[in-house]
Amino acid sequence: MALVHLADRAVIRAEGPDAESLLQNVLTPDLTQLAEGEVRPGALLTPQGKVLFDFVISRAGPDAFRLDCRKDIAEEFLKRLTFLRVRAKVNFSLADQELVSACWQNDSSTSDVDSTTGEIDSASSETDSAKLADRRFPDEVSVFRIYGPAAENEQVLAEWHRLRIEHGVPESGLDYDLSDAFPHDILFDQNGGTGLRKGCYVGQEVVSRMHHRGTARRRLVIVEAAAPLSADERDIVADGKPVGQLGTVSGNQALAIVRIDRVAEAQASGIPVLAGETELSFRLPAYAKFSLEGAVSEAGNH
């Protein structure tokens, strides 16, 4: 197993008899679908439906939740959650003792993987760490979030970002800006980040309208190129017209948020889509339930 300490993350705890009902009523994920032993993505939106804060959420015991967010926004997120509490019986606090790590199956042999997994499980038990399945990734990759002491013998952080790119898992600050992206832009409608069948929450009307009208055009995609991509060449264009922007870059691959209708139009017309001078190809994460081919036909109807 590969193991890395995510030093840029922090944990906010929500505890109290009203914790689940409050979070269900203000955040995007459907907590009735959140099982013990797993983390799932979510967000707190602006009233206009844009992502104000993003996180992964997990259960942390009876009437308790763990919100794993960027460390640089944790204090502000904590203040906003406390403001939204009103009279609800729930307390929010920063869990400074819960450092965040990630582990996943790499190219090691099965015996090495099993051995390392056992060591991680043993360490988690001895230190009261929590090891939770990260549902943003396919089950076969065996990605886990670990909360507790910092990881030892850790991999280079670049390996974690390469894994995120490969499976289409975006992070704010790297792949999109807070208060700029809608949940559909980052595929929260595809990976369980938004509960499309649950009741009202902040920004829900906008999300629901976009979903039912099928108006989502900006979408997260995985970008590939024949040559290494440059982190300095973020703008993606086709025939000189803007298409989107690159996010996290690793070698010949990157994440990007693009106008899929414009990508479709360019591909249908044989126009290359470029970042700088480098031609790009696109694919969707395995969890996506739409296709670029579908966008081609949609583009022809607009």
Q: What six digits make up the tokens of 157?
A: 């952080």
Which class would CATH give 217-300? Answer: mainly beta
Q: What does the alpha-carbon distance between residue 93 and residue 262 come to, in Å, rounded to a whole number?
A: 44
User: Are the C-beta atoms of residues 127 and 169 closer than 8 Å to each other?
Assistant: no
Classified by CATH at the fold level, domain 1-155 comes out as Gyrase A; domain 2 (3.30.1360)
pLDDT at 74: 98
Tell me the pTM.
0.89
| Cα–Cα distance list, 82 to 65, 99, 290 (Å) | 14, 22, 37
CA geometry: angle 261, 264, 265, nearest 5 deg = 90
Return d(Cα 204, Cα 198) in angstroms, integer.
Answer: 9
Mean pLDDT value of segment 52-66: 98
**What share of the chain in percent tops pLDDT 70?**
88
pLDDT of 185 higher than 90:
yes
Q: What's residue 111's pLDDT? A: 38
In this structure, are residues 224 and 199 in contact, taking their beta carbons and an 8 Å threshold? no
pLDDT at 150 over 80: no
Residue ranges of the chain assigned to CATH 3.30.1360.120: 1-155
Distance CA 116, CA 282 (A): 35
Least confidently predicted of 46-50, 105-109, 124-128: 124-128
Average pLDDT for 209-233: 90
For residue 10, give the 3-state DSSP assignment.
strand
Residue 117 has pLDDT above 60, yes or no: no
